[in-house]
Amino acid sequence: AATAAALPRFAPVASVREAAAPDGAAATEQLTKLLPAGERPSGSRHWQLGKDAGGRLLLAGGKGEVTVNLQRDFAYSDVAARTKDMEKDLAGKAAQRKPADQRPLTKEEARAQAEQTAPKKLVKPDKAALRRIYSCATLKSTTEDLRSCTTANLPDGSLVLRYETRTGSLITRTADVLRPDATRVVVTASNAKDTKHGPADLATPPLNLAALAKIAGNPAWNK
């Protein structure tokens, strides 16, 4: 059964200073630093768009992956739209940033990027929407392959949603943390080098739910 947990206590929106956009390379580097002792990535990539950024690491000899998605001011924004953006990122549809990619943007790409990164007005947290997102009941009603789900509050008041899905032999584990500063940190692990398409390359993901929650809830993700 899911553990009852409360939303973080957010500051009134009028008193909040807008957060700076995160950096994908920095987020990926931070993820690497927070890996359990002995875990060494064999490959990586990162992305960023507006106030969303993240990265992907290959572990277990390149047979499993761990990803991080960092969303600043999440609770002070359109949380449904931001969640859809994150789903696109996980599906590999976000703009990738690679050292070798120095191609200048076309006018259309530059315009689209400017629209995406334009400052958005902070809004009062939509607590009803946030409760739906951070709910095992919601996941059970929308995710056929859900195998486990729990919610809990961390010592600093953050809310963590931990769950596992299984599609055939493909296993994905997720720790989704919403912090009192309104930042959302989502860390996932899977037993495949290509989570989106599979097949599974390992019996289980390289990290368990406890390890993922420890990474996502680390104070290092603070502003």
DSSP letters of 180-211? TTS-EEEEEEESSS-TTT----SSS-SS-HHH
Nearest partner of 220 among 176, 174, 179, judged by Cα? 179
The span from the CA of 50 to the CA of 116, in Å, is 6
**Each residue's pLDDT tens digit, 54-94:** 999 999 999 999 999 999 999 999 999 898 878 766 555 44
Six-digit token string for 186: 């989502």
Nearest partner of 87 among 142, 42, 43, judged by Cα? 142
- pTM for this structure? 0.86
**Each residue's pLDDT tens digit, 115-155:** 555 556 899 999 999 999 999 999 999 998 999 999 999 99
**Each residue's pLDDT tens digit, 86-125:** 876 655 544 444 444 445 555 555 555 545 555 568 999 9
Per-residue pLDDT at 199 = 87
Count of CB atoms situated within 10 Å of the CB of 126: 16
Q: How far is CA 104 from CA 83, 110, 198, in A?
A: 29, 9, 33
Give domain limits for the chain.
Answer: 13-98+107-221
